[in-house]
Amino acid sequence: MQIGVLRLGHRLPRDERMTTHVCLTSRAFGAEGAIYSGQKDGSLERSVKRIADNWGGEFSIEYEPKPIARIERMKKDGWAVVHLTMYGMPLPEKMPGIAEKKKVLVVVGAEKVPAEVYRLADFNIAIGNQPHSEIAALAITLDRMQGGKELERGFQSNFGGAAISLEPAEKGKNIRKGYR
Ligand code: SAM
Determine contact, residues 5/103, Cβ cutoff 8 Å.
no
Q: Which of 8, 11, 18, 108 to mutate to test the pocket of ligand 1 (most atoms within 8 A of CB)?
A: 108
Ligand 1 pocket check for 86: Cβ under 6 Å: yes
| 161 occurs within a structural domain | no
The answer to whether residue 68 sits within a structural domain is yes
The domain tally of the chain equals: 1
DSSP state of 40: -
Task: Assess if residue 164 is contained within a domain.
Answer: no
Q: Is omega for the bond preceding 13 within 30 degrees of 0, making it cis?
A: yes
CA of 108 to the centre of ligand 1 (A): 7
**Is residue 95 a part of any domain in this protein?**
yes
> Is the Cβ–Cβ distance between 113 and 131 less than 8 Å?
no
Determine, yes or no, domain membership for 119.
yes
CA–CA separation, 180 and 145 (whole Å)? 27
Atom of ligand 1 nearest to the CA of 127: 24
Domain that holds residue 59: 2-155
pLDDT in tens, 61-71: 999 999 999 99
CATH of the domain at 10: 3.40.1280.10
- 180 pLDDT above the threshold of 60: no
**71 closest CA partner among 97, 109, 42:** 109
Assigned domain for 33 exists? yes
Q: 56 in a domain, yes or no? A: yes
What is the pTM (predicted TM-score) of this model? 0.96
Which residue out of 37, 71, 86, 93 has the highest number of ligand 1 atoms within 8 Å of its CB and is therefore the one to mutate?
86
Span 28-57, mean pLDDT? 98
Closest listed residue to residue 26, CA positions, set 91, 82, 93: 82
For residue 132, give the ligand 1 atom closest to its CA: 20
pLDDT above 70: residue 124: yes
Summarize pLDDT for 1-38 with one digit per residue, the tens: 999 999 999 999 999 999 999 999 999 999 999 999 99
> What would the pLDDT profile of 127-177 be if each residue is shown by its tens digit?
999 999 999 999 999 999 999 999 999 999 999 999 999 999 999 999 987
Q: Evaluate whether residue 177 is within a structural domain.
A: no
pLDDT in tens, 71-119: 999 999 999 999 999 999 999 999 999 999 999 999 999 999 999 999 9
Q: What is the CA radius of gyration of the chain?
A: 16
